[in-house]
A and B are shown apart, each in its own frame.
Chain A
Amino acid sequence: MSHITSDDVRKVAKLARLKLDQEEVEKYTNQLEQILGYFEHLEDVDTSNVDPTTRAVEVVNRVRTDTVKTSQFREDLLDQAPHREGDFYRVPKILSD
């Protein structure tokens, strides 16, 4: 049974801004198909009496106080970008013509 098609892979790649050639699309379709196959084993477990959860640890309301701290990493964070222009990050043209 097929979980994922090459069209799905192309769509996900496009949304993730990844450029894949045809060979890669086939390769990842196969690999993802296998991975999803492993997950299928989970369906063997009877979860009819288990509430759905989105996390493993049951912790609620983890909050912090509203205090300001200035980061010492500003320069590093700016320098790390592929392109910096003064105090700004510089990014390529957003819309194609």
Chain B
Amino acid sequence: MTPSKVAWEPVIGLETHVQLGTNSKIFTSASTAFGDDPNTHIDPVVCGLPGTLPVLNEKVLEYAVKAAMALNLQIAEHSKFDRKQYFYPDLPKNYQISQFDEPIAEDGWIEVEVAEKGKDTYIKKIGIERLHMEEDAGKLVHAGSDRLAGSTHSLVDYNRAGVALAEIVSMPDLRTGREAAEYASEIRRIMRYLGVSDGNMQEGSLRCDVNISVRPGPNEPFGTKVEIKNMNSFSAIQKACEYEIQRQIKAYEAGEAVIQETRLWDEAKQLTKSMRSKEGSSDYRYFPDPDLGPIEVSKELRDIWHTELPELPAEKRHRYADQFGLSQYDARVLTDEFSMAHYFERVVGAGVDPKSASNWITGDVAAFVNLQKLTYSQLPLKAEQLAEMIQMIENGVISGKIAKEILPELLTKGGSPKLIVEKRGLGMISDPEILSSIVDELLATFPTEVEAFRGGKTKLQGFFVGQLMKKTSGKADPRLANQILSKKLKA
């Protein structure tokens, strides 16, 4: 067998760091605000001065446990914090408070829907090894160069140091770049549904490191693992994986070895490149942090937090398909953001047919919301008002065309569709007598065409419909108007 015939199988696992959206840091009351002047949010605990005592933020524990529950993880009876020692200027204490052998939660899974253009959408269960709490490090600015290598010195900002993180480690269950990106995006979606993180990748509140290797077949031992960092979008995760899979396959097929190392994704060049390693950084000498007591989440507390969990994205996707008969695609679009799903559910709750609601929301409404960069709660058109408009169509009060006509005003200003229709005189003409007389007038205006129609050019029906709509500014009830028109033309 030639090497190119080998069916290489990529094996991918993700380590996701999620910044928990608390107001204060994980072990001290310094603010977690983003974007302030450097070192605004430091205090003696952040800087690890002798004699200071870190105390766990109760909200961090709550958010971590809720996140763990949403990822179907088992919450530990007993959990503790450890010190991970390494020297690097982004770490003020020279150790990071993290969790080593007793994380807050282990052994879970999530369901990921993998959709890619031109391919069948499928659902895959991805195992999650663990979730643990830890503190974030500070940020370095490298001076004299845009990169670490070549810089003359570095500047350190500890605003981010000590911000609470949940690190979520997946099992090596992912097989393609697309799966990796979908997994990361589902993690983000779940965290946003829970309200425990904004998941903003640009600001670094959600960061993914990828572990990736390839092997010559599904039952072969894992190949050498390479870690990739520095992806700041889901598409970057996908592309970095795809690039790295090809790079490793090429190396093996050329008879070269793949080295265990950390590589950085270069967004501009669309490739991964070797990162110069921090020397001697691999011996972390974890030991229990003597400043922090152990954590035991009681069953009572777990039960309370569990009842506070919202319906999660995967549950919503299934329900929208099963209960509302929506397509997989529509269910996916509507549930992507919690606020959109909530808006949709309120429209449906007002008695609107779910498919009509879905069409309007995923169409014109979503286009407006995205264009204006709004959230659904900021949208002037309230769910009840949209429901009213859709019901006016369903009840034959206005046509779809008229609805499109009043929609821009509704989207930008909100208001009652009924009042707008009344005010602008846009109600549908569905009185048969009125329509009859309009049709009579119309036929009198176009005697030649009427004769042609009656002579066999039945295609002219469309012409008459068009003229009728023009005459009534689109307000004629289309079905009724057509009926009357047909009858009179054939008479």
Report chain A residues within 8 Å CB of B430.
none
Q: Is the interface of A mostly helix, strand, loop or mixed?
A: loop
Measured CA separation A77–B93 after assembly (Å): 13
Closest chain A residue, CB of each to CB of B282? A15
Question: With contacts A88-B156, A91-B153 known, is A63 near B58, CB below 8 A?
Answer: yes
Measured CA separation A70–B23 after assembly (Å): 12
Cβ A68 vs Cβ B80 within 8 A:
no
For residue B328, CB closer than 8 A to chain A, the reply is: no
Cβ A73 vs Cβ B43 within 8 A:
yes
Cβ B148 vs Cβ A71 within 8 A:
no
Measured CA separation A64–B53 after assembly (Å): 12
Question: With contacts A73-B44, A88-B155 known, is A64 near B58, CB below 8 A?
Answer: yes
Chain A interface category by residue count: 35 or more
For residue B309, CB closer than 8 A to chain A, the reply is: no
For residue B24, CB closer than 8 A to chain A, the reply is: yes
Cβ A55 vs Cβ B157 within 8 A:
no
Cβ B40 vs Cβ A74 within 8 A:
yes
Cβ B148 vs Cβ A94 within 8 A:
yes
Cβ B39 vs Cβ A87 within 8 A:
yes
Cβ A89 vs Cβ B39 within 8 A:
yes
For residue A65, CB closer than 8 A to chain B, the reply is: yes
Cβ B155 vs Cβ A85 within 8 A:
yes
Report chain B residues within 8 Å CB of A3.
none
Chain A 31-63 against B: per-residue CB contact (8 Å), 1 yes, 0 no? 000000000000000000000001101011111
Closest chain A residue, CB of each to CB of B102? A54
Report chain A residues within 8 Å CB of B42.
71, 74, 77-78
Cβ A88 vs Cβ B43 within 8 A:
no
Report chain A residues within 8 Å CB of B88.
94
Cβ A67 vs Cβ B29 within 8 A:
yes
For residue A19, CB closer than 8 A to chain B, the reply is: no
Interchain residue pairs with CB less than 8 A apart (10): A54-B80, A54-B290, A61-B296, A64-B57, A64-B58, A68-B29, A77-B42, A77-B47, A92-B154, A93-B153
Q: Which 5 A-B pairs have the closest CB atoms?
A: A71-B43, A88-B155, A66-B59, A63-B58, A54-B288
